[in-house]
């Protein structure tokens, strides 16, 4: 991977943000709403990519971080009537704390064992949600009341159920996380994470505390996923246990693999691609998952490193 000037990398990312901003004014209503949802879930994928792409830790339990944010925000609004910013902060804190606790335990393992341990913790988290059904709504979930989804900023108030406000809120979250991710991966800390991924033993020999660095990465990753979950609850108004199921641990893996592992923009591309393949093909056949499967096989054949990963390998080596 050749090095790009910071200006070039930031210009590309700001360009993507500008494009998403511009799309808000030209997209038909349905795609406008769908893209807002995709941006929120792309944040989930970016959080996953932070750990999987840059540290090389394959987790099968990230649904728990997403749903920690989802429930952290949703339940504080539903049961305690917290404001939107406080609920979002609660979601974020839940995800970060959970990631810290899980990281302390799961990082004692690596490889396949790490995958299994994270999956088991996520399953525990899922069952805990079902167990406390009186609070969480169990498998049916809860609706976050519409009047509570209003963001009050001084004298102004923003109704998060309004499509434009929702889109811009999703874009704001996406942009912040994208730029933070870019800053992290370009920082010294980001280099250490890549070094751990490439050869942990050598990194340790060079004097780095790999456990602490990995733990920090788990917390950052968990916090980003929780931010996505909290935003999902507040922007779309539903909190449900299906988001804690194993399916939602596999989806970000798929989105990242599709878009390009260890690329900052790959998660967005992967999420966008998967969403539209499902959306378009399900209009034609109930066997749409078969078509999704074929699309995935073709991608693996022609874009083995994911869409952006392959582009970086073949043409644009400077892509972060």
Q: Which residues bind other proteins (CB under 8 A)?
A: 26-34, 37, 130, 133, 137-144, 146, 161, 236-238, 240-243, 269, 272-273, 276-277, 279-280, 282-284, 286, 288-289, 307, 311
Shortest Cβ distance from residue 199 to other proteins (Å)? 32
The residues with which 151 forms a beta bridge, in sequence order, are 158
Closer residue to other proteins (CB): 51 or 307: 307
Q: Which is nearer to other proteins, 95 or 240 (CB)?
A: 240
Kindly report the number of other CB atoms within 10 A of residue 85's CB atom. 12
Q: How far is the CB of 138 from other proteins (least distance, A)?
A: 5
- Of 113 and 130, the one with the shorter C-beta distance to other proteins is 130
- Rounded distance between C-alpha atoms, residue 91 and residue 85, angstroms: 10
Closest approach of Cβ 208 to other proteins, in Å? Answer: 37
Q: Name which of 190 and 259 has its Cβ closer to other proteins.
A: 259
**Min dist. Cβ of residue 47 to other proteins (A):** 17
Compute CA distances 143 → 35, 69, 148, whole Å.
Answer: 22, 15, 11
Rounded distance between C-alpha atoms, residue 266 and residue 254, angstroms: 11
Give the DSSP per-residue string, 116-179.
HHHHHHHHHHHHHHHHTHHHH-TTT-EEPPGGG-EEEETTEEEETTSHHHHHHHHHHHHHHHHH
Residue closer to other proteins, measured from CB, 13 or 214:
13
Nearer to other proteins, 143 or 206 (CB): 143
Upper half-sphere CA count for residue 250 (Cβ side, 13 Å): 5
Give me the least distance between CB of 144 and other proteins, in Å please.
7
Q: 93 near 72, Cβ under 8 Å?
A: yes
Nearer to other proteins, 7 or 26 (CB): 26
CB of 17 to other proteins, least distance (A): 14
CB of 89 to other proteins, least distance (A): 22
Chain length of the chain: 320
Identify the sign of the CA torsion 226, 232, 237, 239. negative
């Amino acid at each position: 991977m050749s090095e790009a000037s910071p200006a070039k990398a930031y210009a590309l990312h700001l360009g993507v943000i500008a494009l998403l901003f511009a799309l808000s004014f030209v997209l038909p209503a349905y795609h406008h709403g769908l893209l807002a949802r995709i941006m929120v879930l792309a944040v989930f994928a970016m959080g996953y990519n932070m750990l999987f792409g840059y540290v090389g830790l394959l987790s099968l339990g990230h649904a728990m971080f997403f749903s920690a944010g989802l429930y952290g925000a949703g339940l504080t609004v539903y049961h305690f009537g917290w404001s939107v910013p406080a609920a979002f902060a609660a979601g974020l804190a839940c995800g970060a704390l959970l990631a810290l606790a899980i990281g302390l335990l799961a990082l004692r393992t690596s490889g396949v064992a790490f995958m299994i341990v994270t999956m088991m913790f996520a399953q525990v988290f899922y069952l805990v949600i079902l167990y406390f059904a009186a609070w969480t709504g169990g498998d049916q979930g809860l609706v976050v009341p519409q009047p509570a989804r209003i963001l009050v900023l001084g004298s102004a108030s923003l109704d998060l159920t309004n499509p434009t406000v929702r889109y811009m809120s999703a874009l704001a979250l996406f942009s912040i996380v994208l730029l933070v991710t870019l800053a992290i991966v370009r920082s010294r800390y980001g280099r250490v994470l890549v070094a751990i991924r490439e050869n942990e033993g050598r990194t340790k020999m060079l004097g780095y505390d790999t456990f602490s660095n990995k733990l920090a990465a788990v917390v950052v990753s968990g916090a980003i996923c929780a931010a996505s979950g909290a935003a999902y609850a507040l922007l779309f108004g539903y909190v449900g246990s299906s988001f804690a199921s194993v399916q939602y641990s596999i989806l970000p893996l798929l989105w990242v693999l599709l878009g390009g592992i260890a690329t900052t923009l790959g998660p967005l591309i992967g999420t966008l691609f998967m969403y539209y393949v499902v959306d378009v093909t399900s209009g034609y056949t109930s066997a749409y998952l078969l078509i999704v499967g074929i699309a995935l096989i073709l991608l693996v054949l022609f874009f083995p490193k994911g869409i952006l990963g392959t582009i970086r390998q073949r043409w644009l080596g400077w892509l972060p």
